[in-house]
Amino acid sequence: MAEAKKDVADELMSEEELIDITDPESMEEPEEISEAVEAVIAERDEYKDRFMRALADAENLRKRGERDRRDAEKYGGSKLARDMAPVYDNLKRALGAVTDEQREANKALLEGIDLTMRELTNVFSKHGIEVIAPEVGDTFDPDVHEAMFEAPVPNTTKGEIIQVLGQGFKLHDRLLRAAQVGVSSNPG
């Protein structure tokens, strides 16, 4: 049994392969060791920096994806809402063009148009579409109004709305179409 252990030890290492730890030539210089350690530390720091950057990039990508998903959900219907704005305008014009005589003669038809208008308004509200309905006398706001013309009108101030040509629409906080208005150019 002792011979078997000795044979295994001989196979693993012969005496020529053994290095004498007391031999100063076989040991590396402390500067070389220190340089090697510094190189390993620098490499570790570089990998750590790369890892942290990749982690930050992944987190930013996740946040951007989440924001894009929310925006798509919130504003995805903006094209449809823009396309529905003229329908709203036409219904509004149709209801506004009816005289009292026509109203009596076509009562059922006008009730149907009125119900359609209310339903459209309810659908707009349900989906976050807000009608921008300026009135004559309001102050012009370039964020939600589009000035179609300016005219000097007596007894008005500069920037006062003097005529409403078309209503505007917002989808949540985004402007879909500005309200079209005429604005007073009187200096005051």
What does the pLDDT read at residue 11? 55
Please, are residues 148 and 134 in contact by the beta-carbon 8 Å criterion?
no
Per the model's pLDDT, the better-predicted residue between 6 and 38 turns out to be 38
Residue 160 DSSP label: B
Query: Residue ranges per domain, the chain?
Result: 27-74, 76-184
pLDDT tens for 54-105 read 999 999 999 999 999 998 888 888 888 889 999 999 999 888 888 889 888 8
CB 151 within 8 A of CB 184: yes
Contact 159, 184 (CB under 8 A): yes
**167 pLDDT above the threshold of 60:** yes
Q: Return the SS3 of 68.
A: helix
76-184 fold: Nucleotide Exchange Factor Grpe; Chain A, domain 2 (2.30.22)
Q: pLDDT band for position 158 (50/70/90)?
A: very high
User: Can you give the pLDDT at residue 5?
Assistant: 54
List Cβ<8 Å contacts ≥24 apart for 162-166. Answer: 162/136, 163/136, 164/133, 164/134, 164/135, 164/136, 166/89
Q: 184 pLDDT exceeds 70?
A: yes
pTM above 0.75, yes or no: no
